[in-house]
Structure 1
Amino acid sequence: MSPSKRSQAGVSRTTPGPTAESAGFAQLVREFLQAQSELGQVLAGHEEDEIPFPAIRALVGDDDRAVLYRLKEKSHALFRSRGLATRAFRREALFDLAVGSLFHESMKLRETLYQRQVYAPRIEQLREAADEELDDALFVEFDRILGKSVSRLGEVVSEVRTLLIQTRDQARRLLVERAGDRFVTRCLLSRRRQVDRVFPEGFAGLLETMHGSTATGLIAGARALLESAYFVDAAQTLREARADPEAPTEEVEQLGLYAEGMQAFLDGRYGDSISTLSAWADLGAPGDEPDFARFAAAALGRLKRLVEEDADGAAIVEDARRLQARLEEAASV
């Protein structure tokens, strides 16, 4: 369901959204994954002397059309002014330095490829069309510049590859430190293909590193989705978590019932919503999840105007009223 339809049904976030810092870091993660994934693919898919200049030009530039530029700027904005007082700040500073170095070495690669693939053919055209008026000494200088460019290509590519690995390893450390931020885990959930390409351990392995188990990480991501009222995505993530033998069955079942009940409400299946949320309440979940309980109670409180023209509207409203009172009481304990 689109955000506009959620609003029409009286459903929005269950809790306040991410903090500015959390949202900023999630944006950094998105830029990082795109940059690492796309640049890594270009380098892995070509020999050093066959890397296409247009592909590198699209990734590396001096404005925000290029993802490596956006990554560098976002990293500087988040971390450059923090200082070095804590271990966490020092790790952020190392990541920022690695990102800056990756950007500048990638710019060197861009310039080198430009000289080889754009500049050199133009010089050859001029040489072939040369007459007495053209200065041979200038062609000698051109050849010297291009010779240096050819000789350093391998070194530049090697440095970029090394920095990709080092930046990735620093990013992993930052992600582990932010394992408690569910919005970061949600960001990884939404980009798992890129995570699989960037991190050797893959998406499941990264969640295990961050959360102790893949199932725990999936549940954290599902909670973030529930808090943002994305119940279908949350339910799908919870089903994936349930398949893990290490998953806490009771927690997954409770959250799954909440997701199912709230999605039924959004779909206009109010009887199903009330029965499913009642089953959720029977498990004692509202006392453990007061924010979710308050959110569900608030939604149920809007049912009267939504079903006033239904034949069974009065019965639905009465069932909703009783469940609403039950949830509000549980949330207040």
Structure 2
Amino acid sequence: MSRRWVQANLSEFARDVMRDYCMACAVLEAQFERFEASGAVSFPVMRDLLGEAVNKGLLWRLKDTAHHLFRSDPHASPVALMLDWAIGYVFHECIKLKEDAYQHQHYAPQYRALQGRLMDEELLAIVEPLASMLAQTRESMDREIRRIRYILASSRRLLCLYFATHGDNRLLARLLHDRAGLVRDVFGDDHPRLVAALYGDRPELLYVQAAEALLEGGRPDEALRAIDEAETLRPDCPEALALRNAVAQMSHPTSSRRATTP
């Protein structure tokens, strides 16, 4: 993929990184909570999240998109390079977690089943110490989860810094509007920081730009809902008023033309 092509489609790449990052974080956090409750991580979920070279999963695609986005600029900022590093590190930690999940899900039950068979003392002396491997696998999963959580928390702060220059990205604004619940859940206490980084002291611009993107996509009803959100934050928002008028003209083009006919 050429550097020029990535730069020409920067808005799409930036939107995709944010979308896939949030989706991957949600999947991972659900597995981490499962581990805290039951001591297990689902191997099929981790396998699907990662995928394989011929059928890449969500996290693998995120890693690749991050490489394209953050490495395409020869003058990339340290923030971009650290984000690229963090996402790649999480990817490889998840590979280790997937393998530990497989061992825990398949080999631990096999060991317990075999241990339940009648064994003489000589065999028991060899087999029983192997039980410590099961505990070590669980400890390994716990360490991997703590590392992944720590890096993801740091990467959220890095994303806030990186996206400070993307305040005019309508595709990103539409994502933040359409998937507001997901983004808020993932960013948590950092969500206000993200919005402030993008739109400064005018958070209503998130909804203005989302409405613009929705109108461009032929979704006037959804655009009106975004306009409502903008006006909730700032009732006298001039951009929102202009968009509302544009939607009205789209809805009643004939009457609008008649009104302007002398």
| Paired residue type of 1:273 | P
Question: Equivalents in 2 of 1:157, 1:86: separation in Å?
Answer: 30
- Segments of structure 1 that go 5 or more residues without pairing to the other structure are 1-17, 265-271, 279-318, 327-333
| Paired residue type of 1:80 | R
The answer as to 2:244 corresponding to 1:256 is yes
| Paired residue type of 1:62 | E
What SS does structure 1 have at the residue aligned with 2:188? coil
Encode CA deviations 1:176-219: one digit per residue, 9 max, x unaligned: 22112122111221211111111124766633331022212211
The answer as to 2:40 corresponding to 1:60 is no
| Paired residue type of 2:170 | R
Question: Equivalents in 2 of 1:48, 1:159: separation in Å?
Answer: 18
Corresponding residue of 1:185? 173
Corresponding residue of 1:316? none
Deviation at 1:95, TM superposition (A): 0.6
Structure label with greater radius of gyration = 1
Encode CA deviations 1:152-175: one digit per residue, 9 max, x unaligned: 332222111101212222222222
Q: Please provide the CA RMSD for this pair.
A: 3.1
| Paired residue type of 1:66 | G
CA, structure 1 residues 48+217, in 2 after alignment: closer, same or farther (shift >3 Å)?
same
The answer as to 2:35 corresponding to 1:30 is no
Question: Equivalents in 2 of 1:177, 1:247: separation in Å?
Answer: 26
Identify the match of residue 253 of structure 2 among 273, 277, 299: 273
The answer as to 2:63 corresponding to 1:72 is yes
Give the count of matched residue pairs: 252
Deviation at 1:147, TM superposition (A): 4.2
Corresponding residue of 1:226? 215
Please tell me whether the aligned partners of residues 204 and 231 of structure 2 are also in contact (alpha carbons under 8 angstroms): yes
The answer as to 2:43 corresponding to 1:43 is no
Counterparts of 1:1-333 in structure 2, within 5 Å, are 19-47=8-36, 50-54=39-43, 55-63=45-53, 64=55, 66-83=57-74, 85-87=75-77, 90-129=78-117, 139=127, 142-143=130-131, 145-201=133-189, 206-212=194-200, 213-244=202-233, 246-262=234-250, 264=251, 272-275=252-255, 277=256, 319=258
Question: Equivalents in 1 of 2:191, 2:223: separation in Å?
Answer: 17
Q: Which has the higher helix share?
A: 2
- Segments of structure 2 that go 5 or more residues without pairing to the other structure are 1-6
Question: Equivalents in 2 of 1:120, 1:142: separation in Å?
Answer: 10
| Paired residue type of 1:176 | A
Question: Equivalents in 2 of 1:140, 1:61: separation in Å?
Answer: 35
Deviation at 1:32, TM superposition (A): 0.9
Deviation at 1:45, TM superposition (A): 5.0
Superposed structure 1 runs of 4+ greater than 6 Å apart: 134-138
The more displaced of 44-53 and 70-79 is: 44-53
Q: Percent identity?
A: 24
Please tell me whether the aligned partners of residues 102 and 163 of structure 1 are also in contact (alpha carbons under 8 angstroms): yes
TM-score by length of structure 2 reads 0.81
Please tell me whether the aligned partners of residues 79 and 158 of structure 2 are also in contact (alpha carbons under 8 angstroms): yes
Question: Equivalents in 1 of 2:211, 2:191: separation in Å?
Answer: 15
